[in-house]
Amino acid sequence: MKHISTEKYGLFSVEHRTLRAADGIPLSITHILGNKNKQPIVLLHGSYSTRSFWISERGIGFGAYLSELGYDVWIPEFRGHGLSPKGEKFKHYSAEQQMKYDLPAFGRFVYEQTSQAAVWMGHSFGGLSLYGSLSQSWLSKSYVRGLITMGSQVSEGDSYLKLPFVPFVSKQLLKILGKFPAKALGLGPENEAIGVILDVIEWKKRGGSWQSREGKSYWRGFSNITQPSLVISSIGDETDPAEGCKFLYEELESEDKTYVLLGIENGFAQDYDHVGMVITKDAQNEVWPLIGEWISRRFSMDLPKTEQKHKIRKNLSESFG
Percent of the chain with pLDDT over 90: 68
Q: Which of 140, 126, 119 is nearest to 297 (CA)?
A: 119
The CATH number of the domain where 148 resides is what? 3.40.50.1820
Q: In whole angstroms, give the CA distance from residue 263 to residue 269.
A: 7
What is residue 51's three-state secondary structure? helix
Q: In whole angstroms, give the CA distance from residue 251 to residue 319.
A: 19
Inside any domain, residue 133: yes
Q: In whole angstroms, give the CA distance from residue 211 to residue 219.
A: 8
pLDDT interval class at 155 (50, 70, 90) = confident
Q: Which CB contacts under 8 angstroms, 24+ apart, belong to 164-169?
A: 164/206, 166/205, 167/201, 167/202, 167/205, 167/206, 167/208
pLDDT of amino acid 78: 97
Q: In whole angstroms, give the CA distance from residue 127 to residue 98.
A: 12
pLDDT of amino acid 199: 82
Q: What is the enclosing helix (H) or strand (E) of 278?
A: helix 276-279
Q: How big is the CA angle at 241 (ends 262 and 233), to the nearest 5 degrees?
A: 30
Inside any domain, residue 262: yes
Inside any domain, residue 223: yes
DSSP state, 102? Answer: I
pLDDT in tens, 105-140: 999 999 999 999 999 999 999 999 999 999 999 999
Domain that holds residue 86: 2-157+218-320
Tally of domains within the chain: 1
pLDDT in tens, 221-268: 999 999 999 999 999 999 899 999 999 999 999 999 999 999 999 999
DSSP state, 229? Answer: E
- For β-strands 40-44 and 118-123, DSSP reports them as parallel
Inside any domain, residue 68: yes
User: How far is residue 65 from each of residues 1, 19, 68, 262, measured CA to CA in Å?
Assistant: 28, 26, 5, 20
Q: Which pTM was predicted?
A: 0.88
Neighbours of 43 (CB within 10 A): 26
Residue 246 burial (10 A CB sphere; 0-12, 13-18, 19+): middle
Inside any domain, residue 207: no
pLDDT of amino acid 156: 77
pLDDT in tens, 177-223: 666 666 666 777 777 887 888 888 778 654 457 888 888 899 999 99
The four Cα atoms 22, 192, 65, 246 give a dihedral, to 10 degrees, of: -90
Would the pLDDT of 163 be above 70? Answer: no
More confident residue, 201 or 72: 72
pLDDT interval class at 89 (50, 70, 90) = confident
Inside any domain, residue 56: yes
Inside any domain, residue 167: no
Contact 147, 119 (CB under 8 A): yes
Q: Which of 266, 277, 254 is nearest to 150 (CA)?
A: 277
pLDDT of amino acid 206: 46
